[in-house]
């Protein structure tokens, strides 16, 4: 049962050793200790506790998040850290993940809840969006984005696939409107898609025609607003990261970007690429050891794996994460209690989102969004957060045995 | 619920798809594409070359330095690493314009399109620039200073002999993979022929550097590093004072002096005039000065001692005498008449007024053309057909180290020319020529061409009475003698002529100095043996030639002197040769007037016409 934990722990050890030259080494060992202690506590807590007190925990976390905006110290431009003294600080935004999962699980496990109801959907959205808004106010965009992963949970619990499709379409439109400068082309694409949908899938009813037209017009409107969103809503460094990723960067900005925004991604690719098939060996990485890759111990930790352990290492790590996530999904599906299932899906989707974005950005496939790689990146809050997420799941899973 | 349960597969599928996509991407970045590996090496590892000091060269007594070293600092650049360079500041430090700065980058890129390889940006920085740069270097990403030693020629003499060192070009790199862009290599003279011992072995260190361009640690614990091996010091055979003296004597004249120690083949002095200060071809002024020298119409870069080919003129009569004596076609008592020359079958070779008929001693003493035309014709036509006689003659000649590279230990030596029988067959048709046809060979004219080095070696062979050592300018390479380094130089080479015949000719050479054409070059305290020569020059005034050795009975030095367009051998070449011998053997010149006249004399037909001087005593 605890095989993934052991694996996680082993990898913890491993990445710790990689940084044995850094001062973070000692701290991280301590974080592991704390995390294990918390894990132990969780395993001794009665399984029902989490279901019962999930809303309380959620409420407490929300309060903590709000408090953080005011008492939080400013680190790298965001107000998401609470200083604990002794040089340590806590990031409540990390910890709130499990609380949101619990609350969502608690709400959806209610017998009367049906995903088909608009009210249910709205409440779910509220549970998710409340912390997101607060975290956004803390200026931690990356962390806030993590919660979008919970859409996957809602989908599993009955949210129509149309919503996923809608989200996907919006994303495609967003990218298209950046990549293609002539709006007319996008409009015609929208028109063609609408027509295809109408003639092939629709029942050619009048109402449907109207519906499709409305959606199409909304799409046109969205396209037109992308520019505005892009320049006004997103911060400059965020928009340039996206344009850079899509290869639409202005050549005049290219040189600047290479030094600045693109530097991380470029260095990250160099580090990973230089690892080759077998890697340079433990502690032999020149790119990561000499600070060529920024944030290499936190968000760009995957570069260290790539450089020192090569393709074998990176593939192993990715496959382990994949098995971990699939394993959690498997665990989720065998639950009798919907509470545990929803919670498990929450855990799986959060881990997946972290993996998707974190590894994606080191490979230059995702925009640079500062979120850590679970169990790898340096940082107490992250480690603690994922430990809690996993161990509550373990506890709930073993609780399933008890009620059998 | 079951319906919803199946959604797990879609969710799981997305997870698997993303992971597989990432793995595919990783496969591309880490295994397929080499770009990142190269970039990583370039940005994280600096290759530092330790150039061991090049070996120095001492004079023959191991006391004074002919070639020394001085420290120099090169500003290196890795073009593709140059980022955000404060061009103005760098230009100010280097004292160049920004236009020049940009030009240099273009030039570097043209020379070597691989911009990740280091190249010399500014060779041999001045001390001031180095001090200023050293402090600010961290500001100039992509630049670093590499120290190395460069050459220094304390006396500024022996340019042709010592040669020069320059940067390798692509052709050299292609031929010899040891060299890398920016390396230095001996390009001529001793620097070239002893390149390997002199240069030592380059050491390479690989240093990891961090994002701030600071050096951090040896790469891979120095696994790929190599330790430099210092160059070996050489002891040359050059007598520094003699060399310097020779250059002074040849000032304002075109030609060359080669002095050899007959007993060993060691070159004591090798002068090619006009010469230049070897220090001109050191450091960052190299290209500028080289171009200047290259354009000079007097061709100072041309090593006349090894590369100029002249007819040996009358000096060659000695060799013809030896061949005749050895082959039994000539005896000391043989007399030939000479009535102002040699006339036979429509061929006429002129001669000057002297008593007639003469025996061999008299003929050598007075340098009779008629006599030696007969000697040569007799030698060749003694055999039937004449071609066989010629071939036999040529064999003898070649045994003196003529008509082929000797070789000496200096580069670019030319062969001279002793025409082959085939050459004449082609010219006249097989069987349609005889001794008379090529009669000018008898007096060292015609197609016969020798280099001054070959002449000097010929003189040393006469001094040795029958053998020679290959001439060489280096005595010791580190602890090795030159004979151990290259066995060819430790070996006696015998001619095909016996010693007893040499004794006859050498005695005549002594007579030349006391009673003959070489009287002007006599030294009261030293008995010499010599022979004048005047090489006909179709392009202008004849070349003045003299070969000479001394002391006659215990030769210590053999000298060959050529002075271009200077007329009779006795006019310029003979006094110069004899002053060289006096300088070497006595260290002090007694004939101050002669010395003064030689040193101050100008024979530069290129620049000015010299009035023909009438000297009473020559052929």
Q: What is the pLDDT of residues A154-194, one digit of tens each?
A: 888 777 777 777 777 777 777 777 666 666 676 777 777 77
Question: Which residue of chain A comes nearest to B24, CA vs CA?
Answer: A315
Percent of all residues in chain B with a pLDDT value above 90, rounded to a whole number? 41
CB-CB contact of B462 with B505 (8 Å): yes
Higher pLDDT, A90 or B304: B304
Instruction: Give pLDDT tens digits for B137-166.
Output: 777 878 888 777 788 899 899 999 999 998
Half-sphere exposure of B192 (CA within 13 A, CB side): 18
**Most confident of the following: A101-115, B195-209, B583-597:** B583-597
3-state DSSP of chain A = CCHHHHHHHHHHHHHHHHCCCCCHHHHHHHHHHHHHHHHHHHHHCCHHHHHHHHHHHHHHHHHHHHHHHHHCEEECCEEEEEEEECCEEECHHHHHHHHHHHHHHHHHCCCCCCCCCHHHHHHHHHHHHHHHHHHHHCCCHHHHHHHHHHHHHHHHCCCCHHHHHHHHHHHHHHHHHHHCCCHHHHHHHHHHHHHHHHHHHCCCCHHHHHHHHHHHHHHHHHHHHHHHHHHHHCCHHHHHHHHHHCCCCCHHHHHHHHHCHHHHHHHHHHHHHHCCCCCCCCCCCHHHHCCCCCCCCCCCHHHHHHHHHHHHHHHHHHHHHHHHHHHHHHHHHCCCCHHHHHHHHHHHHHHHHHHHHHHHHHCCCCCCCCCCCCCCCCCHHHHHHHHHHHHHHHHHHHHHHHCC
Interface of A with B in 215-244 (CB under 8 A): none
B611 pLDDT band, cuts 50/70/90, is very low
Q: Give strand ranges (E) for B44-142.
A: 45-50, 57-58, 65-77, 119-122
Q: In chain B, count of helices (H) and strands (E)? A: 23, 21
DSSP, res B353: -
Mean pLDDT along residues A190-218: 69
A404 pLDDT band, cuts 50/70/90, is very low
Name the residue with tokens 């700065």: B101
The answer to whether the CB atoms of A365 and B33 lie below 8 A apart is no
B477 pLDDT band, cuts 50/70/90, is very high
State how far the alpha carbon of A194 is from the alpha carbons of A174, A210, A217, A375, B138, in Å: 17, 11, 10, 44, 60
B450 pLDDT band, cuts 50/70/90, is very high
Half-sphere exposure of B484 (CA within 13 A, CB side): 7
A105 pLDDT band, cuts 50/70/90, is confident
Higher pLDDT, A236 or B239: B239
| DSSP β-ladder status, B474-477 and B234-236 | antiparallel
Q: Does B19 touch chain A (CB under 8 A)?
A: yes
Instruction: Give the separation between CA B366 and CA B389, rounded to whole angstroms.
Output: 27
Higher pLDDT, B585 or A369: B585
A231 pLDDT band, cuts 50/70/90, is low
Question: Which residue of chain A comes nearest to B218, CA vs CA?
Answer: A286
B434 pLDDT band, cuts 50/70/90, is confident
Interface of A with B in 323-362 (CB under 8 A): 325-326, 329, 332-333, 345, 348-349, 352, 355-356, 359-360
Instruction: Give the separation between CA B281 and CA B158, rounded to whole angstroms.
Output: 13
pLDDT at position A61 over 80: yes
Mean pLDDT along residues B378-389: 89
State how far the alpha carbon of B586 is from the alpha carbons of A69, B61, B239, B574, B590, in Å: 101, 16, 13, 18, 9
CB-CB contact of B208 with B219 (8 Å): yes
CB-CB contact of B20 with A359 (8 Å): no
What stretch of H or E contains B10?
helix B7-27
The answer to whether the CB atoms of B16 and A322 lie below 8 A apart is yes
Determine the distance from the C-alpha atom of residue A125 to the mean position of all C-alpha atoms in its chain, rounded to a whole number: 17
Instruction: Give pLDDT tens digits for B13-62.
Output: 888 888 888 888 888 877 777 777 777 776 667 777 777 888 999 999 99
Q: Does A319 touch chain B (CB under 8 A)?
A: yes
Instruction: Give the separation between CA B221 and CA B227, rounded to whole angstroms.
Output: 14
Cα distance from A347 to chain B (closest Cα, Å)? Answer: 13
pLDDT at position A16 over 60: no
**Most confident of the following: A330-339, B147-156, B367-376:** B367-376
pLDDT at position A8 over 50: no
The answer to whether the CB atoms of B83 and A259 lie below 8 A apart is yes
Higher pLDDT, A230 or B162: B162
Mean pLDDT along residues B103-118: 77
CB pairs under 8 A between A and B: 116
Interface of A with B in 247-286 (CB under 8 A): 259, 269-277, 284, 286
pLDDT at position A219 over 70: yes
Q: Which residues of B touch A360 (CB under 8 A)?
A: 22
Of B485, B472, B454, B410, nearest in space to B188 by CA:
B410
The answer to whether the CB atoms of B211 and A276 lie below 8 A apart is no
pLDDT at position A53 over 90: no
Question: Which residue of chain B comes nearest to A332, CA vs CA?
Answer: B8
Instruction: Give the separation between CA A86 and CA A84, rounded to whole angstroms.
Output: 7
State how far the alpha carbon of B115 is from the alpha carbons of B9, B110, B200, in Å: 51, 10, 28
pLDDT of residue A132: 85
Q: Which of B18, B29, B44 sits opposite A356 (nearest CB)?
A: B18
Mean pLDDT along residues B270-291: 88
Mean pLDDT along residues B586-603: 88
CB-CB contact of A307 with A271 (8 Å): yes
Instruction: Give the separation between CA B390 and CA B372, rounded to whole angstroms.
Output: 15
Higher pLDDT, B17 or A109: B17
Name the residue with tokens 């007096």: B443
Higher pLDDT, A302 or A195: A302
pLDDT of residue B242: 95
Listed in sequence order, the residues at least 6 apart from A225 whose beta carbon sits closer than 8 Å to its beta carbon are: none
What stretch of H or E contains B467?
strand B467-469
Mean pLDDT along residues B238-252: 93
pLDDT at position B603 over 90: no
pLDDT of residue A11: 46
Instruction: Say what the pTM is.
Output: 0.61
Mean pLDDT of all residues belonging to chain B: 86
The answer to whether the CB atoms of A157 and B208 lie below 8 A apart is no
Instruction: Give the separation between CA A46 and CA A395, rounded to whole angstroms.
Output: 8
**In the structure encoding, which two tokens stand for residue A349, read together?**
């989707």
Instruction: Give the separation between CA B78 and CA B231, rounded to whole angstroms.
Output: 28
What stretch of H or E contains B493?
strand B492-494
Cα distance from B121 to chain A (closest Cα, Å)? Answer: 24
| Residues β-bridged to residue A264 | none
The answer to whether the CB atoms of B40 and A326 lie below 8 A apart is no
pLDDT of residue B582: 93
The answer to whether the CB atoms of A155 and B43 lie below 8 A apart is no
B190 pLDDT band, cuts 50/70/90, is very high
Higher pLDDT, A357 or B468: B468
Q: Which residues of B touch A314 (CB under 8 A)?
A: 23, 26, 30
The answer to whether the CB atoms of A365 and B22 lie below 8 A apart is yes
B248 pLDDT band, cuts 50/70/90, is very high
Of B447, B443, B421, nearest in space to B434 by CA:
B421
| Residues β-bridged to residue B58 | B65, B235
CB-CB contact of A394 with A2 (8 Å): yes
| Residues β-bridged to residue B549 | B529, B558
Mean pLDDT along residues A195-203: 65
Cα distance from B7 to chain A (closest Cα, Å)? Answer: 6
Angle of CA points A22, A23, A28, to nearest 5°: 100
Interface of B with A in 194-213 (CB under 8 A): 208-212
Higher pLDDT, B239 or A380: B239
pLDDT of residue B609: 43
Instruction: Give pLDDT tens digits for B496-533.
Output: 999 999 999 999 999 999 988 888 888 888 999 999 99
pLDDT at position A85 over 80: no
Mean pLDDT of all residues belonging to chain A: 73
**In the structure encoding, which two tokens stand for residue A44, read together?**
């001794």
| DSSP β-ladder status, B234-236 and B57-58 | parallel
Sign of the C-alpha dihedral, residues A32, A34, A38, A43?
positive
């Amino acid at each position: 049962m605890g095989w993934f934990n052991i694996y996680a722990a082993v990898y913890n050890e491993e990445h710790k050793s990689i940084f044995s030259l850094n001062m973070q080494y000692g701290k991280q060992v301590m974080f592991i200790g704390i995390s294990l202690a918390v894990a132990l506590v969780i395993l001794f807590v009665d399984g029902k506790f989490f279901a019962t007190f999930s809303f309380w925990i959620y409420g407490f976390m929300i309060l903590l998040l709000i408090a953080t905006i005011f008492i939080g110290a400013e680190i790298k431009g965001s107000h998401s850290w609470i200083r604990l003294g002794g040089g340590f600080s806590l990031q409540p935004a990390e910890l709130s993940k499990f609380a949101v999962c619990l609350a969502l699980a608690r709400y959806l496990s209610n017998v009367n809840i049906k995903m088909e109801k608009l009210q249910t959907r709205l409440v779910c959205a509220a549970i998710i969006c409340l912390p997101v808004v607060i975290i956004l106010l803390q200026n931690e965009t990356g962390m806030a984005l993590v919660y979008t992963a919970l859409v996957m949970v809602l989908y599993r619990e009955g949210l129509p696939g149309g919503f996923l499709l809608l989200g996907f379409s919006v994303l495609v439109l967003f990218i298209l409107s950046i990549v293609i400068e002539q709006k007319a082309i996008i409009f015609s694409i929208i028109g063609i898609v609408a027509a295809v949908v109408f003639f092939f899938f629709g029942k050619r009813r009048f109402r449907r025609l109207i519906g499709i037209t409305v959606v199409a017009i909304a799409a046109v409107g969205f396209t037109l607003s992308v520019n505005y969103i892009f320049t006004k809503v997103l911060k400059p460094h965020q928009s340039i990261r996206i344009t850079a990723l899509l290869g639409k960067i202005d050549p005049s900005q290219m040189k600047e970007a290479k030094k600045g925004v693109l530097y991380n991604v470029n260095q990250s690719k160099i580090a990973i690429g230089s690892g080759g098939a077998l890697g340079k060996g433990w502690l032999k990485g020149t790119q990561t050891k000499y600070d060529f890759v920024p944030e290499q111990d936190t968000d760009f930790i995957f570069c260290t794996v790539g450089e020192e352990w090569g393709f074998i290492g990176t593939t192993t790590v990715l496959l382990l994460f994949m098995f971990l996530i699939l394993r959690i999904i498997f665990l989720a599906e065998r639950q009798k209690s919907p509470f545990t299932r929803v919670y498990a899906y929450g855990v799986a989707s959060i881990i997946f989102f972290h993996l998707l974005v974190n590894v994606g950005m080191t490979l230059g496939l995702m925009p640079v969004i500062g979120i850590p790689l679970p169990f790898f990146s340096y940082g107490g809050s992250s480690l603690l957060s994922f430990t809690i997420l996993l161990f509550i799941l373990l506890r709930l899973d073993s609780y399933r045995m008890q009620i059998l | 619920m079951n319906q919803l349960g199946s959604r797990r597969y879609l969710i799981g599928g997305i997870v698997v798809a993303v992971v597989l996509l990432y793995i595919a991407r990783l496969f591309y970045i880490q295994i397929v594409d080499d770009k990142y590996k190269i970039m990583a090496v370039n940005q994280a590892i600096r290759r530092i070359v330790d150039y061991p000091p090049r070996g120095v060269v001492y004079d023959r007594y191991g006391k004074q330095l002919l070639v020394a070293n001085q420290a120099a600092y090169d500003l290196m650049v890795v073009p593709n690493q140059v980022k955000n360079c404060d061009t103005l500041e760098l230009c100010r430090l280097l004292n160049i314009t920004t236009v020049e700065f940009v030009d240099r980058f273009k030039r570097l890129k043209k020379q070597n399109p691989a911009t990740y390889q280091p190249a010399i940006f500014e060779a041999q920085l001045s001390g001031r620039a180095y001090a200023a740069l050293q402090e600010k270097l961290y500001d100039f990403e992509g630049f670093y200073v590499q120290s190395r030693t460069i050459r220094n020629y304390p006396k500024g003499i022996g340019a042709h002999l010592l040669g020069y060192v320059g940067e390798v070009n692509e052709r050299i790199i292609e031929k010899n993979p040891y060299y890398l862009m920016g390396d230095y290599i001996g390009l001529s003279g001793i620097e070239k022929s002893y390149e390997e011992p002199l240069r030592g072995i380059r050491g390479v260190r690989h240093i990891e550097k961090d994002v701030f361009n600071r050096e951090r640690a040896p790469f891979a614990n120095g696994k790929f590093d190599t330790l430099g091996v210092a160059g070996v010091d050489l002891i040359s055979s050059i007598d520094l004072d003699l060399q310097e003296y020779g250059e002074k004597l040849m000032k304002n004249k075109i030609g060359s002096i080669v002095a050899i120690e007959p007993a060993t083949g060691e070159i004591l002095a090798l002068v090619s005039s006009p010469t230049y200060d070897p220090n001109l071809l050191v450091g960052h002024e190299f290209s500028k000065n080289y171009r200047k020298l290259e354009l000079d119409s007097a061709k100072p870069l041309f090593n006349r001692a090894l590369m100029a080919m002249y007819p040996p003129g009358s000096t060659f009569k000695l060799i013809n005498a030896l061949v005749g004596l050895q082959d039994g076609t000539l005896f000391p008592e043989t007399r030939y008449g000479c009535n102002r020359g040699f006339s036979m079958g429509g061929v006429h070779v002129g001669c000057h007024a002297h008593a007639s008929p003469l025996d061999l001693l008299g003929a050598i003493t007075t340098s009779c053309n008629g006599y030696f035309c007969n000697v040569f014709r007799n030698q060749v036509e003694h055999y039937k057909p004449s071609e066989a006689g010629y071939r036999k003659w040529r064999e003898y000649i070649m045994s003196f180290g003529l008509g082929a590279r000797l070789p000496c230990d200096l580069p670019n030596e030319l062969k001279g020319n002793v025409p082959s029988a085939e050459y004449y067959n082609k010219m006249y048709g097989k069987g349609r020529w005889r001794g008379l046809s090529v009669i000018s060979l008898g007096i060292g004219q015609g197609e016969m061409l020798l280099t001054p080095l070959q002449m000097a070696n010929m003189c040393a062979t006469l001094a040795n009475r029958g053998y020679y050592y290959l001439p060489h300018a280096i005595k010791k390479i580190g602890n090795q003698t030159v004979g151990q380094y290259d066995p060819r130089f430790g070996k006696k080479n015998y001619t095909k002529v016996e010693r007893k015949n040499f004794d006859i000719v050498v005695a005549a050479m002594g007579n030349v100095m006391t009673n003959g054409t070489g009287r002007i070059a006599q030294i009261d305290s030293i008995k010499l043996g010599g022979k004048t020569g005047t090489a006909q020059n179709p392009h202008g005034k004849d070349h003045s030639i003299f070969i000479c050795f001394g002391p006659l009975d215990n030769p210590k030095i053999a000298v060959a002197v050529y002075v271009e367009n200077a007329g009779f051998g006795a006019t310029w070449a003979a006094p110069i040769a004899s002053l060289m011998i006096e300088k070497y053997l006595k260290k002090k010149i007694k004939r101050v007037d002669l010395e003064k006249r030689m040193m101050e004399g100008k024979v530069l037909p290129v620049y000015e016409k010299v009035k023909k001087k009438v000297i009473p005593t020559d052929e």
